[in-house]
Protein backbone atom coordinates (compact mmCIF):
# COMPACT_ATOMS: atom_id res chain seq x y z
CA UNK A 1 0.00 0.00 0.00
CA UNK A 2 1.15 3.55 -0.77
CA UNK A 3 0.28 6.71 1.20
CA UNK A 4 -2.35 8.79 -0.55
CA UNK A 5 -2.41 11.91 1.65
CA UNK A 6 1.01 13.37 0.68
CA UNK A 7 3.10 12.50 -2.40
CA UNK A 8 5.19 13.95 -5.20
CA UNK A 9 3.48 14.32 -8.59
CA UNK A 10 4.71 12.28 -11.55
CA UNK A 11 7.27 14.79 -12.87
CA UNK A 12 8.34 15.77 -9.33
CA UNK A 13 7.33 19.41 -9.86
CA UNK A 14 4.79 19.57 -7.02
CA UNK A 15 3.68 18.07 -3.74
CA UNK A 16 0.27 16.42 -4.14
CA UNK A 17 -1.93 16.45 -1.03
CA UNK A 18 -5.38 15.20 -0.21
CA UNK A 19 -7.27 18.36 0.82
CA UNK A 20 -8.47 17.34 4.30
CA UNK A 21 -10.72 20.39 4.57
CA UNK A 22 -12.98 18.84 1.91
CA UNK A 23 -13.36 15.47 3.71
CA UNK A 24 -15.91 13.81 4.22
CA UNK A 25 -17.81 15.36 1.33
CA UNK A 26 -15.16 15.30 -1.43
CA UNK A 27 -11.81 13.67 -2.07
CA UNK A 28 -9.91 16.48 -3.81
CA UNK A 29 -6.16 16.47 -4.48
CA UNK A 30 -4.13 19.66 -4.72
CA UNK A 31 -0.75 20.29 -6.37
CA UNK A 32 1.48 22.55 -4.28
CA UNK A 33 4.16 24.24 -6.40
CA UNK A 34 4.99 27.53 -4.69
CA UNK A 35 6.17 28.28 -1.16
CA UNK A 36 2.94 30.18 -0.49
CA UNK A 37 0.77 27.28 -1.65
CA UNK A 38 2.76 24.97 0.65
CA UNK A 39 2.56 27.39 3.59
CA UNK A 40 -1.17 27.97 3.12
CA UNK A 41 -1.91 24.24 2.82
CA UNK A 42 -0.31 23.63 6.23
CA UNK A 43 -1.74 26.78 7.87
CA UNK A 44 -5.29 26.08 6.60
CA UNK A 45 -5.05 22.41 7.67
CA UNK A 46 -5.50 21.17 4.13
CA UNK A 47 -2.67 18.90 5.19
CA UNK A 48 -2.62 18.34 8.96
CA UNK A 49 -1.48 16.04 11.69
CA UNK A 50 2.06 16.23 13.03
CA UNK A 51 3.66 13.47 10.90
CA UNK A 52 1.79 14.45 7.72
CA UNK A 53 2.87 18.08 8.19
CA UNK A 54 6.48 16.95 8.54
CA UNK A 55 6.30 14.75 5.42
CA UNK A 56 4.63 17.55 3.42
CA UNK A 57 7.30 20.04 4.57
CA UNK A 58 10.08 17.66 3.56
CA UNK A 59 8.69 17.21 0.04
CA UNK A 60 7.92 20.93 -0.16
CA UNK A 61 11.44 22.11 0.67
CA UNK A 62 12.78 19.59 -1.88
CA UNK A 63 10.54 21.01 -4.64
CA UNK A 64 11.56 24.56 -3.69
CA UNK A 65 15.24 23.53 -3.67
CA UNK A 66 14.90 22.22 -7.23
CA UNK A 67 13.81 25.69 -8.31
CA UNK A 68 16.59 27.66 -6.60
CA UNK A 69 18.69 29.44 -9.25
CA UNK A 70 21.97 29.86 -7.39
CA UNK A 71 25.45 30.56 -8.77
CA UNK A 72 27.15 28.77 -5.89
CA UNK A 73 26.57 26.67 -2.76
CA UNK A 74 26.43 29.58 -0.34
CA UNK A 75 23.72 31.30 -2.36
CA UNK A 76 21.82 27.99 -2.61
CA UNK A 77 22.06 27.46 1.16
CA UNK A 78 20.93 31.01 1.87
CA UNK A 79 17.76 30.66 -0.25
CA UNK A 80 17.18 27.16 1.17
CA UNK A 81 17.24 28.60 4.69
CA UNK A 82 14.77 31.34 3.70
CA UNK A 83 12.36 28.71 2.36
CA UNK A 84 12.83 26.61 5.49
CA UNK A 85 12.09 29.52 7.88
CA UNK A 86 9.01 30.47 5.85
CA UNK A 87 7.52 26.96 5.87
CA UNK A 88 8.45 26.52 9.54
CA UNK A 89 6.47 29.65 10.45
CA UNK A 90 3.18 28.13 9.22
CA UNK A 91 2.31 26.32 12.50
CA UNK A 92 4.34 26.34 15.77
CA UNK A 93 3.11 23.44 17.92
CA UNK A 94 3.70 20.18 16.05
CA UNK A 95 7.42 19.46 16.37
CA UNK A 96 7.45 17.31 13.21
CA UNK A 97 7.39 20.43 11.03
CA UNK A 98 10.67 21.85 12.36
CA UNK A 99 12.09 18.35 12.87
CA UNK A 100 11.61 17.46 9.19
CA UNK A 101 12.89 20.82 7.91
CA UNK A 102 15.99 20.64 10.13
CA UNK A 103 16.62 17.11 8.92
CA UNK A 104 16.43 18.31 5.31
CA UNK A 105 18.74 21.25 6.06
CA UNK A 106 21.29 18.82 7.54
CA UNK A 107 21.43 17.09 4.12
CA UNK A 108 22.43 20.39 2.49
CA UNK A 109 24.98 21.30 5.14
CA UNK A 110 26.58 17.86 5.41
CA UNK A 111 27.01 17.61 1.63
CA UNK A 112 28.81 20.93 1.08
CA UNK A 113 31.26 20.42 -1.75
CA UNK A 114 28.91 18.27 -3.80
CA UNK A 115 27.17 19.75 -6.83
CA UNK A 116 23.84 21.46 -6.23
CA UNK A 117 22.16 18.88 -8.50
CA UNK A 118 23.57 16.06 -6.36
CA UNK A 119 22.38 17.80 -3.18
CA UNK A 120 18.89 18.19 -4.64
CA UNK A 121 18.82 14.46 -5.46
CA UNK A 122 19.85 13.73 -1.85
CA UNK A 123 17.02 15.96 -0.62
CA UNK A 124 14.50 13.93 -2.59
CA UNK A 125 15.85 10.72 -1.06
CA UNK A 126 15.68 12.21 2.45
CA UNK A 127 12.05 13.26 1.98
CA UNK A 128 11.12 9.79 0.76
CA UNK A 129 12.99 8.29 3.73
CA UNK A 130 11.08 10.50 6.17
CA UNK A 131 7.79 9.24 4.72
CA UNK A 132 8.90 5.59 4.62
CA UNK A 133 10.21 5.76 8.19
CA UNK A 134 6.85 7.15 9.31
CA UNK A 135 5.01 4.26 7.64
CA UNK A 136 7.17 1.81 9.61
CA UNK A 137 6.90 3.85 12.84
CA UNK A 138 3.12 3.98 12.67
CA UNK A 139 2.86 0.27 11.88
CA UNK A 140 4.88 -0.55 15.01
CA UNK A 141 2.88 1.93 17.09
CA UNK A 142 -0.32 0.23 15.88
CA UNK A 143 0.97 -3.20 16.93
CA UNK A 144 2.16 -2.02 20.35
CA UNK A 145 -1.05 -0.05 20.91
CA UNK A 146 -3.16 -3.07 20.00
CA UNK A 147 -1.31 -5.15 22.61
CA UNK A 148 -2.88 -2.93 25.29
CA UNK A 149 -6.46 -3.46 24.13
CA UNK A 150 -9.05 -6.24 24.47
CA UNK A 151 -11.09 -7.52 21.50
CA UNK A 152 -14.38 -6.00 22.65
CA UNK A 153 -13.05 -2.73 24.09
CA UNK A 154 -14.92 0.56 24.00
CA UNK A 155 -12.51 3.30 22.93
CA UNK A 156 -12.76 7.09 23.06
CA UNK A 157 -10.78 9.17 20.58
CA UNK A 158 -10.21 12.93 20.33
CA UNK A 159 -9.39 14.83 17.13
CA UNK A 160 -7.86 12.77 14.31
CA UNK A 161 -4.67 10.76 14.34
CA UNK A 162 -5.42 8.35 11.53
CA UNK A 163 -3.83 7.63 8.14
CA UNK A 164 -4.56 11.14 6.84
CA UNK A 165 -2.67 12.71 9.77
CA UNK A 166 0.37 10.51 9.25
CA UNK A 167 1.69 8.40 6.38
CA UNK A 168 -0.35 5.22 6.17
CA UNK A 169 -1.54 3.60 9.40
CA UNK A 170 -2.14 6.48 11.79
CA UNK A 171 -1.09 6.63 15.42
CA UNK A 172 -4.09 6.79 17.78
CA UNK A 173 -6.32 5.18 15.15
CA UNK A 174 -3.64 2.68 14.13
CA UNK A 175 -4.45 0.03 16.79
CA UNK A 176 -8.16 0.38 16.00
CA UNK A 177 -7.67 -0.12 12.26
CA UNK A 178 -5.19 -2.96 12.81
CA UNK A 179 -7.55 -4.62 15.29
CA UNK A 180 -10.39 -4.33 12.76
CA UNK A 181 -8.22 -6.17 10.21
CA UNK A 182 -7.61 -8.89 12.83
CA UNK A 183 -11.30 -9.34 13.65
CA UNK A 184 -11.43 -7.28 16.84
CA UNK A 185 -14.82 -5.83 17.68
CA UNK A 186 -14.08 -2.35 19.03
CA UNK A 187 -16.80 0.17 19.76
CA UNK A 188 -15.33 3.62 19.17
CA UNK A 189 -16.70 6.93 20.44
CA UNK A 190 -15.18 9.77 18.44
CA UNK A 191 -15.23 13.29 19.88
CA UNK A 192 -16.27 15.66 17.10
CA UNK A 193 -13.48 17.98 18.30
CA UNK A 194 -14.60 21.58 18.06
CA UNK A 195 -13.91 24.00 16.51
CA UNK A 196 -12.46 22.40 13.35
CA UNK A 197 -14.27 19.06 13.75
CA UNK A 198 -11.38 16.75 12.89
CA UNK A 199 -13.14 13.99 14.81
CA UNK A 200 -16.43 14.37 12.96
CA UNK A 201 -14.97 15.08 9.52
CA UNK A 202 -11.91 12.82 9.55
CA UNK A 203 -11.95 10.20 12.32
CA UNK A 204 -15.52 9.04 11.77
CA UNK A 205 -14.78 9.06 7.99
CA UNK A 206 -11.63 6.90 8.32
CA UNK A 207 -13.19 4.47 10.82
CA UNK A 208 -16.48 4.22 8.93
CA UNK A 209 -14.57 3.47 5.70
CA UNK A 210 -12.90 0.59 7.58
CA UNK A 211 -16.31 -0.65 8.85
CA UNK A 212 -15.36 0.10 12.45
CA UNK A 213 -18.30 0.59 14.85
CA UNK A 214 -17.89 4.35 15.39
CA UNK A 215 -20.26 6.65 17.27
CA UNK A 216 -19.80 10.39 16.86
CA UNK A 217 -20.30 12.48 20.00
CA UNK A 218 -19.99 16.13 20.92
CA UNK A 219 -16.92 16.91 23.01
CA UNK A 220 -19.13 17.65 26.05
CA UNK A 221 -20.46 14.06 25.96
CA UNK A 222 -17.12 12.41 26.77
CA UNK A 223 -17.98 12.31 30.49
CA UNK A 224 -21.35 10.57 30.13
CA UNK A 225 -20.01 7.82 27.85
CA UNK A 226 -17.25 7.18 30.39
CA UNK A 227 -19.75 7.26 33.28
CA UNK A 228 -21.97 4.78 31.38
CA UNK A 229 -19.06 2.35 31.45
CA UNK A 230 -18.78 2.29 27.65
CA UNK A 231 -15.10 3.29 27.52
CA UNK A 232 -12.24 0.92 28.38
CA UNK A 233 -9.45 3.12 27.00
CA UNK A 234 -8.81 6.56 25.55
CA UNK A 235 -6.47 6.77 22.56
CA UNK A 236 -5.11 10.14 21.39
CA UNK A 237 -2.33 11.38 19.12
CA UNK A 238 0.27 14.02 19.93
CA UNK A 239 1.93 17.03 18.40
CA UNK A 240 4.84 17.49 20.76
CA UNK A 241 5.98 15.33 23.71
CA UNK A 242 8.12 17.16 26.29
CA UNK A 243 11.01 15.37 28.03
CA UNK A 244 8.95 14.93 31.22
CA UNK A 245 6.02 13.35 29.37
CA UNK A 246 3.75 16.39 29.18
CA UNK A 247 1.98 16.18 25.81
CA UNK A 248 0.65 18.87 23.47
CA UNK A 249 -2.30 17.67 21.47
CA UNK A 250 -5.54 19.03 20.04
CA UNK A 251 -7.44 21.41 22.30
CA UNK A 252 -9.68 19.41 24.63
CA UNK A 253 -7.27 16.51 25.05
CA UNK A 254 -6.30 17.54 28.59
CA UNK A 255 -9.99 17.60 29.53
CA UNK A 256 -10.43 14.05 28.25
CA UNK A 257 -7.38 13.00 30.28
CA UNK A 258 -8.82 14.55 33.46
CA UNK A 259 -12.13 12.74 32.89
CA UNK A 260 -10.30 9.46 32.23
CA UNK A 261 -8.40 9.88 35.50
CA UNK A 262 -11.65 10.53 37.37
CA UNK A 263 -13.33 7.44 35.86
CA UNK A 264 -10.16 5.35 36.26
CA UNK A 265 -9.88 4.68 32.51
CA UNK A 266 -6.43 4.16 30.86
CA UNK A 267 -5.37 7.23 28.84
CA UNK A 268 -2.91 6.38 26.07
CA UNK A 269 -0.92 8.81 23.94
CA UNK A 270 0.39 7.37 20.69
CA UNK A 271 3.05 8.96 18.52
CA UNK A 272 6.38 8.41 16.75
CA UNK A 273 9.64 9.40 18.43
CA UNK A 274 9.85 12.11 15.75
CA UNK A 275 7.21 13.88 17.88
CA UNK A 276 9.37 13.63 20.99
CA UNK A 277 11.14 16.92 21.79
CA UNK A 278 13.79 16.24 24.44
CA UNK A 279 14.81 19.91 24.13
CA UNK A 280 11.46 20.78 25.65
CA UNK A 281 11.82 20.16 29.39
CA UNK A 282 8.12 20.42 30.27
CA UNK A 283 4.81 21.26 28.64
CA UNK A 284 5.29 24.88 29.75
CA UNK A 285 7.94 25.18 27.03
CA UNK A 286 5.53 24.23 24.23
CA UNK A 287 4.23 27.11 22.08
CA UNK A 288 0.47 26.79 21.65
CA UNK A 289 -0.92 27.94 18.29
CA UNK A 290 -3.70 30.53 18.55
CA UNK A 291 -6.09 30.62 15.63
CA UNK A 292 -8.74 32.94 14.20
CA UNK A 293 -11.83 33.18 16.43
CA UNK A 294 -14.10 32.95 13.40
CA UNK A 295 -13.37 29.23 13.46
CA UNK A 296 -15.47 29.26 16.65
CA UNK A 297 -18.10 31.83 15.71
CA UNK A 298 -18.95 31.10 12.11
CA UNK A 299 -16.75 28.67 10.17
CA UNK A 300 -19.12 25.69 10.18
CA UNK A 301 -22.41 27.55 10.51
CA UNK A 302 -24.74 28.97 7.86
CA UNK A 303 -24.77 32.21 9.85
CA UNK A 304 -22.50 33.48 12.69
CA UNK A 305 -23.47 31.91 16.01
CA UNK A 306 -22.16 34.76 18.16
CA UNK A 307 -22.29 38.56 18.01
CA UNK A 308 -19.65 39.95 15.70
CA UNK A 309 -17.88 42.02 18.36
CA UNK A 310 -17.73 39.22 20.96
CA UNK A 311 -14.17 38.27 21.84
CA UNK A 312 -12.92 34.74 21.25
CA UNK A 313 -10.03 32.62 22.51
CA UNK A 314 -9.07 29.84 20.11
CA UNK A 315 -5.99 27.83 21.19
CA UNK A 316 -5.56 24.94 18.73
CA UNK A 317 -3.83 22.74 21.31
CA UNK A 318 -3.50 22.17 25.03
CA UNK A 319 -0.98 20.35 27.18
CA UNK A 320 -1.89 17.19 29.07
CA UNK A 321 0.11 16.86 32.28
CA UNK A 322 2.19 13.71 32.35
CA UNK A 323 0.51 12.69 35.63
CA UNK A 324 -2.71 12.06 33.68
CA UNK A 325 -1.12 9.77 31.09
CA UNK A 326 -1.11 5.98 31.54
CA UNK A 327 1.45 5.30 28.80
CA UNK A 328 3.03 6.86 25.72
CA UNK A 329 3.21 4.37 22.86
CA UNK A 330 6.05 4.95 20.38
CA UNK A 331 7.52 2.79 17.62
CA UNK A 332 10.49 2.02 19.88
CA UNK A 333 8.40 0.84 22.81
CA UNK A 334 5.76 1.68 25.41
CA UNK A 335 6.85 4.39 27.84
CA UNK A 336 5.32 4.36 31.32
CA UNK A 337 5.84 6.70 34.30
CA UNK A 338 8.27 8.01 35.40
CA UNK A 339 8.30 9.46 31.86
CA UNK A 340 11.47 11.49 32.35
CA UNK A 341 13.39 8.23 32.64
CA UNK A 342 11.39 6.13 30.16
CA UNK A 343 11.43 8.82 27.44
CA UNK A 344 15.16 9.50 27.92
CA UNK A 345 15.81 5.76 27.52
CA UNK A 346 13.69 5.49 24.39
CA UNK A 347 15.22 8.66 22.89
CA UNK A 348 18.62 6.95 23.01
CA UNK A 349 17.48 3.71 21.33
Q: To the nearest whole angstrom, how small is the minimum distance from the Cβ of residue 299 to ligand LNRAV4D5? A: 14
Site mask for ligand LNRAV4D5 (CB under 6 A), range 102-131, x = bound? ------------------------------
- Which residues is 213 bridged to in the sheet? 187
Q: At what angle do helices 174-181 and 116-146 cross, to 10 degrees?
A: 70
Q: Is residue 48 close enough to count as binding ligand LNRAV4D5 by CB under 6 A?
A: yes
Residues of span 195-214 touching ligand LNRAV4D5 by CB under 6 A: 198
Through-space distance between the first and last CA atoms of the chain, rounded to whole angstroms: 28
Residues of span 295-324 touching ligand LNRAV4D5 by CB under 6 A: 316
Residues 6+ apart with CB under 8 A from 56: 6, 15, 17, 32, 38, 41, 42, 47
Report the residue number whose CB is nearest to ligand LNRAV4D5.
Answer: 237
Q: To the nearest whole angstrom, how small is the minimum distance from the Cβ of residue 171 to ligand LNRAV4D5? A: 5
Rg (CA), the chain: 20
CA nearest to 48, candidates 5, 79, 85, 80: 5
* Distinct helix (H) and strand (E) counts, the chain: 12, 14
Residue 196 or 212 with smaller CB distance to ligand LNRAV4D5: 196
Q: To the nearest whole angstrom, how small is the minimum distance from the Cβ of residue 236 to ligand LNRAV4D5? A: 6
Q: CA–CA separation, 158 vs 338, rounded Å?
A: 24
Q: CA–CA separation, 279 vs 272, rounded Å?
A: 16
Among the listed ranges 11-19, 234-242, 258-266, 331-339, the one in contact with ligand LNRAV4D5 (CB under 6 A) is 234-242
Q: Is residue 250 close enough to count as binding ligand LNRAV4D5 by CB under 6 A?
A: yes
Residue 7 or 166 with smaller CB distance to ligand LNRAV4D5: 166
- Beta strand spans in 210-260 (E): 213-217, 233-236, 240-242, 247-250
Q: Is residue 329 close enough to count as binding ligand LNRAV4D5 by CB under 6 A?
A: no
Q: Is residue 239 close enough to count as binding ligand LNRAV4D5 by CB under 6 A?
A: yes
CA nearest to 214, candidates 187, 242, 247, 192: 187
Among the listed ranges 41-49, 64-72, 323-331, 337-345, the one in contact with ligand LNRAV4D5 (CB under 6 A) is 41-49
DSSP conformation class of 288: P
Name the H helices within 154-251: 174-181, 198, 204-209, 222-227
239 given a catalytic annotation: yes
Give the residue numbers marked as catalytic: 239
Binding site for ligand LNRAV4D5 (CB under 6 A): 45, 48-51, 159, 161, 165-166, 171, 198, 236-237, 239, 249-250, 316
Amino acid sequence: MKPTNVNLNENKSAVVILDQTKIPNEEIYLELKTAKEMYDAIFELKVRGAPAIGICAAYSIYILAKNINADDYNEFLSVFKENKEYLNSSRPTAVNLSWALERMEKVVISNKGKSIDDIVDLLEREAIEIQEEDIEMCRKISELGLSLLEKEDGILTHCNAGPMATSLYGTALGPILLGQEKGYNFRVFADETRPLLQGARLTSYELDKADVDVTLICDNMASIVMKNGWINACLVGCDRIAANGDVANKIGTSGVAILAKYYNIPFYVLGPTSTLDMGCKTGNDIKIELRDGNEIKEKFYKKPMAPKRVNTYNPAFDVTDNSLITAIITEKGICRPPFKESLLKISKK
